[in-house]
Amino acid sequence: MTARILDGNKIRDQIFAELSDEVRLLTSAGVRPGLAAVLVGENPASQLYVKSKIAACEHLGIASALLTPPATASTLDLLAVVEDLNRDNDVDGILVQLPLPPQVDTKRILEAVDPAKDVDGFHPVNLGRLVSGRPGLVACTPAGCMEILRRNEIKIEGANAVVLGRSDIVGKPMALLLMHANATVTICHSKTRDLPDIVRRADIIVAAIGKAAYVEPDWIKSSTGGGPGAAVIDVGTNRITDPEQAERLFQNFPGRLEIFRAKGSSLVGDVHPDAINTAGSLTPVPGGVGPMTIAMLMSNTVKAARLRRASPKFSATQSTASAR
């Protein structure tokens, strides 16, 4: 029995439809949400990611601006860019596309973003709000994973959940969101002992470690024991180019193998493709978590527009600007 596919594209479209209605209502009230993206240098992958985010803004009616400092930009240069965006009342969300060039202090730049405009959810203030269970802007990928679980009616409360990876961007906020939803959460990483046995006990698995096909099919609870198989959320996006590796991973997927041979590369998640035969449900790669990350970025931008304009600080800033 093959796993139920948790289609991220389908849920993204649902969220976009909801956001379109909300953007129309806000715009009719004189409030048009706005997102500013900062893209430093000419990294092709980063350019592609930002292009897709700007396209999503256009689709939803969200105002967008793209700032492109050169690859030689210093930390001070980028701090000045961020500060200008912090002061701009037409900008509700600030996205600093990572990675930044090596000469730039990435943490210093991210921490310079106004937490009220931190639509990536990376700022320590927003992470702190997440820890304490207070409302705030939540990191997009973990928030998207939660939407996949909820909209597919996968039971979270009381579930044993295993998060593979402990990054500030995915692993840690993911664990916190699952805990707030009353799951029992285990965080695993490179030093975890008996990892396969821990994963086998999970009702929900979130794989976010950045290693192609790392999670083997026999690590995953199947439905053969009578209960539902594990729900697997595969956050990994790993490009493979080795023909031998592709032959091993896609031996049961002739169609994917043919595409690899034609293109010379393929995207693979952190979970082995054969897990489709053991898991109860599974996000595909591509087409699973990836579309949800952009959907939640758009959602955070609209949310930031609502929250900022409802705050006394925003009203005071507007009054100061009009008095100049």
Active site residues: 53, 97, 120
Find residue 160's DSSP bridge partners: 184
Return the H-helix or E-strand segment holding 95: strand 93-96
Query: In a 3-state reduction of DSSP, which class is residue 183?
Result: coil
Enter the DSSP assignment of 206. Answer: E
Q: Are the CB atoms for 268 and 249 separated by under 8 Å?
A: yes
Rounded (10°) angle between helices 289-310 and 140-151: 110
Strands of the 4-5 sheet, one edge to the other: 4-5, 281-282, 231-234, 204-207, 160-164, 184-188
Rounded to whole angstroms, the Cα distance separating 188 from 192 reads: 6
Return the H-helix or E-strand segment holding 16: helix 8-28
